[in-house]
C-alpha cells in the first residue's frame, strides 16, 4: 500500500470482537489473524500459512495452538511451527510473523512496521478503558474507500450541517468559522469551533434533556495517522466554565475515532461515543449508539460513492476552501510520516492559512 505510514499503532478490532474464534483483518495491507488464547492473551499472526499460503484464519484453535485448515501444520502463540503431520521434524522457514498487540479497554491496537514499538504506546483513551467518570458505546464500520477520504471527512465537520442534518447537523456548524492549529512536533492538528446560543440537535437534546439555545463546543485533536478525538461541550447558553475550570452546568462527550487503513481502497472506521453524564442509564447508551450508527452509515454511504467517483475521475482537480485547512494539514502530516511528497499545490503556513505554492 502506498502513502500509509508504518511503524504506527492502528486499531485492529473492538476488544469484544476478539474471542476464541479466529478473526481475520487486513491492516495497512497486512493480512492478520487474531484470537484470544485460554489464559486471556491476544495473539496476532500473519494470516498466511508458510506451507501453501492458505489463510490461517480458516484453520482452528486447539488450546494455544493454531492448526492450519489445509494440511494441519500447527503454530504456537509466538508463530513457531510446532508440528507437521506425518513427520518428526518441522521444515525450515515454517514460522509465521507475529504482531505486537495492546488491549486498551474497548479497543485493541496492532503495531504495523519493521521496527519494534519500544516504549511507544497507543494514544491514551481512558474514557473507554475503565475511567469510572465516563461511560461509552463503541462500534466499527468498514468503508470501501481509501484512508485519506475518512481523514478528510473527520477533519471537516462542516459536513454535519448537510450530510447529518437529521441528527447532529444544524446550520450553525457550517456557518461558524473554525480555528486550526498545527502541532508538527506531535504530528497533530487541532481544530476548534465554539458556537454560542445555538440550536440543540436531536443527538444532544434526546440524551441530555437540554433545549435550544445551547453553547456547543467542538474541539478536535487529530493525531496522524490513526487517532482522532472530538471533545464536545454542551451547556445551556451563557453558562461558561468558571475560572477554576469547574463546569457543573455542562455535559461533556468525547467522540473517538480509530482510523485504520485496510487495503488501498478499504478502511475501518472504529468509533466510540463517551459521556460524563447519565453513566448507568441504558436508555441513553442505546440512544447514543443508535444515533451514532446512523451518522456513521451516512458517512460510509457518502465515502463509498466518493471512492467510486474518484477512481473513475480523470480530471483530478479539487477546489480548496477555508474549511479544508485541517484536512490539508492532515494530508501533509501523513505524507511526511510516509516520507512521501506532500500536497503539491497547496501549503499551510504556521497560522494554518492555506496558500497556493509559489
Ligand atoms: S497450507 Fe497450511 S498446512 Fe498446508
Ligand atoms: Fe460525518
**Cβ of 49 below 6 Å from ligand 1:** yes
Where residue 355 falls among pLDDT bands split at 50, 70, 90? low
Q: Which atom of ligand 1 is nearest to the CA of 71?
A: 3
| pLDDT tens profile 25-38 | 999 999 999 999 99
Whole-number CA gyration radius for the chain: 22
Quick one: average pLDDT of 271-296?
97
| pLDDT tens profile 223-253 | 999 999 999 999 999 999 999 989 999 999 9
Predicted confidence at residue 321, as pLDDT, reads 86
Beta-strand runs (E) in the chain: 8-14, 23-27, 30-36, 42-46, 60-62, 65-67, 74-75, 81-83, 101-104, 107-112, 135-143, 179-183, 188-198, 214-223, 227-236, 251-261, 267-275, 346-348, 354-356
Where residue 344 falls among pLDDT bands split at 50, 70, 90? very low
Q: For residue 311, with 0-12 CB atoms within 10 Å meaning exposed, 13-18 middle and 19 or more buried, which class applies? A: exposed
| pTM summary value | 0.94
- Residue 267 CA: distances (Å) to CA of 126, 158, 263, 352: 24, 22, 7, 27
**Cβ of 85 below 6 Å from ligand 1:** no
Domain 8-112 carries which CATH code? Answer: 2.102.10.10
Best residue among 45, 46, 54 to mutate for probing ligand 1's pocket (most ligand atoms within 8 Å of CB) is 54
Predicted confidence at residue 346, as pLDDT, reads 52
Predicted confidence at residue 283, as pLDDT, reads 97
99 pLDDT more than 70: yes
| pLDDT tens profile 139-160 | 999 999 999 999 999 999 999 9
Predicted confidence at residue 308, as pLDDT, reads 96
| pLDDT tens profile 315-341 | 878 888 888 888 999 998 998 888 765
Domain ranges for the chain: 8-112, 132-338
306 pLDDT more than 70: yes
Q: Can you read off the three cell numbers belonging to residue 289?
A: 449508539
Query: What does the mean pLDDT of the chain come to?
Result: 93
**Cβ of 51 below 6 Å from ligand 1:** yes
| Cβ density class 206-242: b for 16+ within 10 Å, e for less | bbbebeebbbbbbbbbbbbbbbbbbbbbbbbeeeeee
Contact 25, 34 (CB under 8 A): yes
23 pLDDT more than 60: yes
Q: Can you read off the three cell numbers belonging to residue 76?
A: 504456537
Contact 294, 147 (CB under 8 A): no
Predicted confidence at residue 315, as pLDDT, reads 84
Is the Cα dihedral 270, 274, 278, 279 positive or negative?
Answer: positive
Predicted confidence at residue 320, as pLDDT, reads 85
Q: Is 76 helix (H, G, I), strand (E, B) or coil?
A: coil
Domain 132-338 carries which CATH code? Answer: 3.90.380.10
Best residue among 51, 67, 84, 90 to mutate for probing ligand 1's pocket (most ligand atoms within 8 Å of CB) is 51
Amino acid at each position: 500500500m502506498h502513502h500509509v505510514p508504518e511503524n504506527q499503532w492502528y486499531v485492529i478490532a473492538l476488544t469484544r470482537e476478539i474471542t476464541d474464534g479466529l478473526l481475520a483483518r487486513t491492516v495497512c495491507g497486512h493480512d492478520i489473524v487474531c484470537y484470544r488464547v485460554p489464559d486471556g492473551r491476544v495473539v496476532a499472526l500473519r494470516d498466511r500459512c508458510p506451507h501453501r499460503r492458505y489463510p490461517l484464519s480458516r484453520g482452528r484453535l486447539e488450546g494455544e495452538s493454531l492448526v492450519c485448515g489445509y494440511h494441519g501444520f500447527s503454530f504456537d502463540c509466538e508463530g513457531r511451527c510446532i508440528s507437521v503431520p506425518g513427520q518428526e521434524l518441522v521444515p525450515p522457514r515454517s514460522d509465521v510473523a507475529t504482531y505486537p498487540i495492546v488491549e486498551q479497554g474497548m479497543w485493541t491496537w496492532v503495531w504495523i512496521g519493521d521496527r519494534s514499538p519500544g516504549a511507544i504506546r497507543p494514544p491514551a483513551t481512558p474514557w473507554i478503558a475503565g475511567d469510572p467518570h465516563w461511560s461509552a458505546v463503541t462500534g466499527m464500520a468498514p468503508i470501501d474507500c481509501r484512508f485519506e477520504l475518512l481523514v478528510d471527512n473527520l477533519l471537516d465537520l462542516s459536513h454535519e450541517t448537510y450530510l447529518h442534518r437529521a441528527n447532529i447537523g444544524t446550520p450553525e456548524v457550517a456557518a461558524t468559522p473554525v480555528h486550526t492549529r498545527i502541532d508538527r512536533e506531535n504530528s497533530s492538528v487541532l481544530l476548534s469551533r465554539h458556537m454560542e446560543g445555538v440550536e440543540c440537535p436531536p443527538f444532544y437534546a434526546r440524551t441530555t434533556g437540554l433545549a435550544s439555545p445551547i453553547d456547543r463546543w467542538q474541539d478536535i485533536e487529530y493525531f496522524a495517522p490513526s487517532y482522532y478525538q472530538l471533545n464536545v461541550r454542551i451547556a445551556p447558553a451563557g453558562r461558561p466554565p468558571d475560572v477554576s475550570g469547574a463546569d457543573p452546568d455542562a455535559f461533556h462527550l468525547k467522540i473517538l475515532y480509530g482510523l485504520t487503513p485496510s487495503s488501498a481502497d478499504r478502511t475501518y472506521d472504529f468509533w466510540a461515543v463517551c459521556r460524563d453524564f447519565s453513566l448507568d442509564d441504558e436508555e441513553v447508551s442505546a440512544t447514543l449508539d443508535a444515533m451514532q450508527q446512523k451518522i456513521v452509515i451516512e458517512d460510509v454511504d457518502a465515502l463509498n460513492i466518493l471512492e467510486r467517483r474518484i477512481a473513475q475521475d480523470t480530471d483530478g482537480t479539487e477546489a480548496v476552501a477555508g474549511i479544508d485547512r485541517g484536512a490539508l494539514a492532515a494530508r501533509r502530516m501523513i505524507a511526511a510520516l510516509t516520507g512521501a511528497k506532500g500536497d503539491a499545490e497547496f501549503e499551510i503556513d504556521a497560522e494554518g492559512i492555506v496558500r497556493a505554492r509559489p
